[in-house]
Structure 1
Amino acid sequence: MGFCVVMIDNRGAANRGVNLEAGHLKYRLGQVELLDQEYGLRYCAQKYDCIDLDRVAILGWSYGGYLALMALAQMPNLIKIAIAGAPVVSWRLYNTGYTERYLGLPSENEEQYLASNVLNYVSSFPTEENRLMIIHGLNDENVHFAHTKTLINKCVQERKPYILKVYPSERHGFRNIDSMEHFEVTLLLHLLKYL
Structure 2
Amino acid sequence: MESVLAAKPEPKRRNLEQTRARILAAAADVFTRSGYAQAGLREIAVEAQVAPSLVSRYFGSKAALFEEALVHVLRTNSVFTWQKIGFGEAMARLIPERSNTNITVMLVTALADPEAKEIARRVSREHMIQPLVDWLGPPHALERAMDMFSLMTGFVIQMDGLYPETIPEHSLRWLARSLQAIVDGED
TM-score by length of structure 2 reads 0.31
Where is the strand percentage greater, Structure 1 or Structure 2? 1
* Bigger Rg over Cα: 2
Where relative contact order (Cα < 8 A, 6+ residues apart) is larger, the structure is 2
